[in-house]
Structure 1
Amino acid sequence: MPMSNRGSGPQSSTATAVSATGLRKSYGDKLVLDGIDLNIPAGSVFALLGPNGAGKTTAVKILSTLIAAGPGSGEIHVSGHDLAADPQSVRAAIGVTGQFSAVDGLITGEENMLLMADLHHLSRRDGRRTAAELLERFDLTAAAKKPASTYSGGMKRRLDLAMTLVGNPRIIFLDEPTTGLDPRSRHNMWQIIRELVADGATVFLTTQYLEEADQLADRIAVLSDGRIAAEGTADELKRLIPGGHVRLRFTDPAVYRAAADALGEATRDDEALSLSMPSDGSQRELRSLLDWLDSAGVEADELTVHTPDLDDVFFALTSDAAAPRQSKETVR
């Protein structure tokens, strides 16, 4: 897996961008958020994972003042402001890019930017300067005079994010920002997010792309059944899930049988001529295993190492079997 740029932005050991205690929300009899806690350091990327309907978008809408939290929710602070007592100050500090583009396809990219500048009460001169700078930053200058309806999906998402940045927000909520984008456009968006964090912004990201969270997030929370089932760094979450193993594959059935006899505790797959042994994938354990195989005279045609990834974490924590009101696991 390519190396990620997690933690590339300036971190603060004391400043908190978003904090919430006991965040709740119901729609009628349907409980969507069942008392979740958040503590997101400034200058970091926080990713909220969960299946469709888990409540990710609801959490974003509450924290960005678009809807009210439910009765009994504890205190919520965004950029140091009390969400309930001072929502206007919260709105002034944040930017939001939702699942669905806010771009108006009937006007040009530049006009979309200038409209946003007007909404932020920028002067005509400052609005044009800000629009020009952001269009250049997002590689949209050449298309600035064209109707936004002619933009590709990736261009529309870049324009959407550029519009979000007109007010220079320090906390940016990105609700599934790369949904529907091709791999190249998705990677371009990742680089933009890294640059925002490098400039000191805090990013609250919801996504269904597990690789996206793995690549970008300093901390990840998995939302399941209205609660945060687990929270930690990507590596910490992976260590929560058992199932790491080394797989030996053979082409000669006789060699396979001899190896299976020598490795009595290995799990056999007679059809695939493969043996699996539990392993944490560490270099020390692999070296020990290889030394043992040499001493036993076992030579496999193929050796592969499987360590749990975020896919395993996601499926284990959000499956129906895992859902019965588990308590939150926080890895420190």
Structure 2
Amino acid sequence: MGLKGFVEGGIASIVAGCSTHPLDLLKVRMQLQGEANASKPTANAAVKNLRPALAFHTTSLSAPGSINVPLPPPPAARAGLISVGARIVQQEGVGALFSGVSATVLRQSLYSTTRMGLYDILKKKWADPKSGNLPLGSKIGAGLIAGAVGAAVGNPADVAMVRMQADGRLPPAQRRNYTSVVDAITRMARQEGIPSLWRGSSLTINRAMLVTASQLASYDQIKEMILEKRVMKDGLGTHVTASFAAGFVAAVASNPVDVIKTRVMNMKVEPGAEPPYSGPLDCALKTVRAEGPMALYKGFVPTISRQGPFTVVLFVTLEQVRKLLKDF
């Protein structure tokens, strides 16, 4: 009976992950916007501080022998969801929207299958034996545990997915050019060491705990409320309504952690060189200092655009798979 929950959750998660992969890729690209300035704030600050000391005249004409120190270029405007998508298609082709889809399949097979199956087990174990009901607090607790375990299992695929999705934004000479998720994981382990496969795992686990607790618990709770108040019958309309609401809650709760996770996982660590970020907290501080607090909600539009459809496809598929497998 316990294995059935893993199978149902795994099938639904893979279908949902593949169908919304382009939106996930756009989210990653948008979250990395402005990162170059965030990881190197001191260089820009030094240039800015030189000009007032050396530029004695503000006229456009320079005196012979004067020293001109150019100001750094203004930060590029943040591109929106449509412009980022259009740029990817124009520069990299339509197929680039599915970069890293093999990593998505592996990630959903490991991470989501584990969290969905474990949540189902805990929910049944903690439910009231007579009524079968489970308080919201217990649902959240089950989601936190299931999300943490699932993230720990699926982190290598998560790192590979982020890197494969972000690769196209780099200059050709700096691209990693992974051919598949297996190639990505193999090369990371060989070139950067096995621990690199769990880079950002603390963030992955924190994000997964937030997403699973908010997504699964809120879906169950909202669905129960709709049925109890007889707003709708148990059918497609109820599933879509509850799942979209759950997706919104999950997106709001997880986006800041998701931005930091994306940047830590994607950072390039050259041998003998200091990494751009010493850890998640350092990444968060540098990001906020260089780009402002709202930088933690970069990519929120594609996050909710992806999280909403993903959650809808996930739970609608899950309900259908449960019907198909009810006799097994």
Q: TM-score range by the shorter chain?
A: under 0.3
- Larger RCO, structure (CA 8 Å, separation 6 or more): 2
The structure that is helix-richer by fraction is 2
TM-score normalized by the length of structure 2: 0.23
TM-score normalised by structure 1 residue count: 0.23
